[in-house]
Amino acid sequence: MNPFIRHRLIDNNAALVQLLGLCPLLAVSNSVVNALGLGLATIFTLTLTNALVSIIRPLTRKEIRISLFVLIIAGVVSALEMVMNAYWHELYLALGIFIPLIVTNCIIMARAESFASKQSLPKAIADGFLTGVGFAMVLVVIGAIREIIGKGTVLDQTDLLFGAWGAALQWRILPDYQGFLIAILPPGAFFVLAILVAIRNKLEHKKRQKTHESS
């Protein structure tokens, strides 16, 4: 895998390694649809914000750059919120306050400040997109685990994201399953995230051990 891609998706994943954006990660990941919806919104915001920051970087004075970045992020999120309200209204209602709260997601500000403000437009777009994909991947995995354990389903209420035809994607894995409530409550998000972080750290530790032994 290309090191640039691997660094953003795996080695320095915003959710599992940097542990940024935990508020929406934990609050919205109670189902695959909610997680995917917020993940796509974050990808869009990161990509467009990085692009705009890179474009205006020659004109940006150092003293006002943070305020300007916040203004750009707020503008992008406001536009995204209106589009979601118009075309995905039910999903917009399900995600609630966590759509406008994308403005405060530290992942977006971090990439704008540390990378996009110093790099060319193509690199800034690639960084924003891949960082968003890495975050969305973790969101969807947590959402899938919590939904399966909590309700015994996968892609429940897919019609909120894909319309009427999305109902055919809904899959009940355990027909007679009564559910495990704690999995879809906030404590379940902490448990699942902790397990994923532990698994990732264990794999990285084994990888470093093999590298050390081979050298």
Q: Is the pLDDT of residue 215 over 70?
A: no
Q: Is the pLDDT of residue 212 over 80?
A: no
From the DSSP assignment, how many helices (H) and strands (E) are in the chain?
Answer: 9, 2
**Span of 72-86, 89-103, 123-137 with lowest mean pLDDT:** 89-103
DSSP character for 105? -
Average pLDDT over residues 112-137: 92
Q: What is the mean pLDDT of the chain?
A: 87
Q: Which two tokens stand for residue 70?
A: 């916040």
- pLDDT above 90: percentage of residues in the chain: 33
pLDDT in tens, 31-51: 899 899 899 999 999 999 999
Are 49 and 116 contacting, i.e. CB atoms less than 8 angstroms apart?
yes
pLDDT of residue 106: 85
Q: Which two tokens stand for residue 119?
A: 């790099």
Average pLDDT over residues 143-158: 88
Q: For the beta carbon of residue 86, count every other beta carbon within 10 angstroms.
A: 9
Average pLDDT over residues 163-182: 79
DSSP character for 171? E
Q: What is the pTM of this model?
A: 0.88
Average pLDDT over residues 198-203: 91
